[in-house]
Amino acid sequence: MTRLVGAQAVTLTVDSGQYERDTYGRLLAYVRTSAGTNVNVRVVEQGHATARTSRPPLAQHDELEQAERSARVAHHGLWAYCDHKH
């Protein structure tokens, strides 16, 4: 996170179609840096998180799913030692 966000200001946006917090009380939000980087997508692209499937779908569902597919194909992060053919 330090390399990705550093000292930049961030904007948090809650998905209007989802709960604001999960069952553990954690805030569920999209994070965008002042430079415009979508932190959620970058973390998934780097293989440090997976795209979450929910009903109704997240506003950024397609973008997050594509980021996960890219991470799997490139064997980034948690996909480094997996042989997924999805």
Q: What is the pLDDT of residues 51-68, one digit of tens each?
A: 987 777 788 889 999 999
- Please give, one letter per residue, the 3-state secondary structure of the chain: CHHHHCCCCEEEECCCCCCCECCCCCECCEEEECCCCEHHHHHHHCCCCCCCCCCCCCCCHHHHHHHHHHHHHHCCHHHCCCCCCC
User: To the nearest whole percent, how much of the chain has pLDDT over 90?
Assistant: 65
Domain positions in the chain are 2-79
- CATH 2.40.50.90, domain 2-79, yes or no: yes
User: C-alpha angle with apex 83: 77 to 86, nearest 5 degrees?
Assistant: 90
21 neighbors 27 (Cβ within 8 angstroms): yes
Claim: this prediction has a pTM higher than 0.85: no
* Mean pLDDT to the nearest integer, 21-35: 92
